[in-house]
Amino acid sequence: MPPPCDDRYEMSMNLQTASLLSLPHGRPACAGFLLVPLAMLVLAAAGHAADSVAAYTRFEQTLESSVNYGNPVQEASLTAKFTAPNGSTSTVPGFWDGAKTWRVRFLPTTPGAWKFDITCSDASNQGLKKSGNFTVTAASGQSRFAAHGPISVAPDGRYLVHSDGTPYFWLGDTAWNGPLLSSTSEWDLYVKERARQKFSAVQWVATQFRAAPDGDAQKQLAYSGTEKIAIKPAFFQRLDEKVDAMNRAGLLSVPVLLWAINGGGNPKVNPGVALPDEQAILLARYMVARWSGNAVAWILAGDGDYRGEKAERWRRIGRAVFNDMAHAPVTMHPGGMQWVWKEFIEEKWYGIIGYQSGHGDDDKTLKWITEGPLTDDWAKLPHRPIINLEPPYENHLAYQSKKPHSPESVRRAVYWSLLCAPTAGVTYGGHGVWGWDDGTKPPTDHPGTGVPLPWQKALTMPGAEQMAHVFSFFSTIDWWKLRPAPVVVVNNPGVQSPSKYIAGAKSDDKDLMVVYVPEDRTVEIKLDSMPSSPNVSWINPRTGEKSPAVAVVTANTCQFPTPAEGDWILFMKMDKKETAEKTTETK
């Protein structure tokens, strides 16, 4: 575990630094992980048939086919079974990487002696069969994932954790086109900036799709054909370096495998629309196999309508892609204001409840976050982390007013999303960044969204910079304990004016409370809902600065005036002495 530190701690070894966004239970976050130059990381990341790898780093086995296939992915498949030191097994698929080369990638998490057994669906292909042993040593990396491991759903189902139990706070960025259209140097700039701004994940699209119909920057496609697709390994080899760069910078890679909106100028460019089920499954499994050795989460399908009868196709695809393998958490990215909890909650492969509140700014849109279905379904079993994967993008034209979404609009949606469901994380989006735009025209096939800034300038829009304060605040508290508690607020102005809704959340044991106030006013909180002998302060979400809170106490409530204009976070925490006494009593 890292040494005790606060969120301003910096490590310096004449290397670039960025932020460690995860935090151990009961400890402050440490802002300092190393961005090591690429040349120093090649061996650790690649793991080419290594006899020994550190825990949480990739093990890779390369094989040469003894058979010449016309369309390899259609004619053969690889399966690898890994046996851990305790005898447990994990199965992952392998993938074709061009010519006669096939690979298996795996991310071991337990030190000790491991075994692997690789088999091929073509029994005659002796080149694609291999068994062996390797040793996993203790984790030795300093980046988030090298130190703490990949993520999974926490035992209580409410949030995400690293392999070593460290809670993982999802602070995502939207870069749908970024890995596709960026050069290596551009992507290095992007991950450096997003790490500095304390993001912890990047959502992106891994094939040609609506906003990148010509594929990548070299105008090459991920695959060709429809009924029998031909996968292009060179396309994915270029993406490998982008995925590795994300992980080195402490950013979870979150690719959309099958963009699925049946709309826009040419829906058939989206693999989730154009491909028959078996080919969609094949393509998705190829990408999962390719990046199973990385710190990832998967978005099976993007921007589609999966409600009602349409869900059955995606349940079937999800089972075929994931149910026979070890895999990272999986979610769906639905269309705006579409809630698909009931469609997928019983699926074994479905690990995260993702939703999109969208880019509207009318009362109906605002109330969908604060009073919509997520505010009821979060309490139902089985529990899953709930994450808004697409709140309004900063500087994107709002659907109703046609005005650009302001930093204030973005912050409001972000904090509402974090407090109106059990806190697990949220994603930010910046217009200009998601489309990797040059600032001369709207993003491809999105004419009504407005002309964005060039992506380089959009990277540092005010809302993006202020996401660092989101992390810095939550990193100082046990955020995974928070549960929505709208009843703590008396006379909520959101009843009459949805944009003024005050969101409240608290821990079940009443030692922690967070209240978000969208604009300056006096906030009235029920006395019996507050922590005992609380330390109370205001946090400015625009600057991260803390201010003392004063209150007027009545018989049943405390009234707290905000320190100044704008939005504010009211934070209450039980006094440390009270907390210690309470813990002693419990024991």
* CATH at 236: 3.20.20.80
Based on the fold, state whether residues 313 and 461 are members of the same structural domain: yes
Tokens for 144, please give them.
């988030």
**Tokens 């994450």 belong to which residue?**
387
The answer to whether the Cα torsion of 467, 473, 479, 485 is positive or negative is: negative
Based on the fold, state whether residues 56 and 200 are members of the same structural domain: no
> pLDDT below 70 — which residues of the chain?
1-49, 577-587
30 within some domain: no
Q: Quote the domain boundaries for residue 457.
A: 168-481
Based on the fold, state whether residues 195 and 279 are members of the same structural domain: yes
pTM: 0.91
Based on the fold, state whether residues 318 and 428 are members of the same structural domain: yes
253 within some domain: yes
pLDDT of residue 7: 35
| Chosen domain end from 481, 512, 538 | 481
pLDDT of residue 46: 39
513 within some domain: yes
pLDDT of residue 579: 54
Based on the fold, state whether residues 428 and 493 are members of the same structural domain: no
Based on the fold, state whether residues 451 and 543 are members of the same structural domain: no
Nearest to 336 by CA among 315, 366, 357: 357
How far is C-alpha 128 from the geometric centre of its chain's CA atoms? 34
Residues facing 489 on adjacent strands = 525
Residue 31 near residue 7, CB atoms below 8 Å: yes
d(CA 67, CA 112): 35
Say what angle helices 462-474 and 407-419 make with each other, to 10 degrees: 30
| Chosen domain end from 481, 501, 518 | 481
Give the pLDDT confidence of 292-334 residue by residue, as tens digits.
999 999 999 999 999 999 999 999 999 999 999 999 999 999 9
Based on the fold, state whether residues 287 and 433 are members of the same structural domain: yes
Helices (H), 372-423: 374-377, 407-419
3-state secondary structure of 64: strand
d(CA 57, CA 113): 15
Q: Which amino acid is it at 92?
A: V
pLDDT of residue 518: 98
DSSP 544: -
Residue 488 near residue 515, CB atoms below 8 Å: yes
Name the phi and psi angles at 426, rounded to 5.
-165, 160
Say what angle helices 407-419 and 363-371 make with each other, to 10 degrees: 30
Based on the fold, state whether residues 523 and 378 are members of the same structural domain: no
Q: Report the 3 state secondary structure along 173-207.
A: EECCCHHHHCCHHHHHHHHHHHHHCCCCEEEEECC
Based on the fold, state whether residues 83 and 108 are members of the same structural domain: yes
Based on the fold, state whether residues 85 and 224 are members of the same structural domain: no
21 within some domain: no
34 within some domain: no
Residues facing 430 on adjacent strands = 394
42 within some domain: no
| Chosen domain end from 446, 481, 516 | 481
Judged on CB neighbours under 10 Å (0-12, 13-18, 19+), 505 is buried
Looking at the structure of the chain, the number of domains it has is 3
Based on the fold, state whether residues 463 and 507 are members of the same structural domain: no
d(CA 309, CA 299): 20
pLDDT of residue 577: 66
Tokens for 224, please give them.
């060709």
Based on the fold, state whether residues 85 and 137 are members of the same structural domain: yes
13 within some domain: no
pLDDT of residue 575: 87
* CATH at 489: 2.60.40
414 within some domain: yes
State the greatest distance between any 2 C-alpha atoms of the chain, in Å, as a whole number: 82
Give the pLDDT confidence of 163-173 residue by residue, as tens digits.
999 999 999 99
Residues facing 561 on adjacent strands = 522
d(CA 63, CA 70): 18
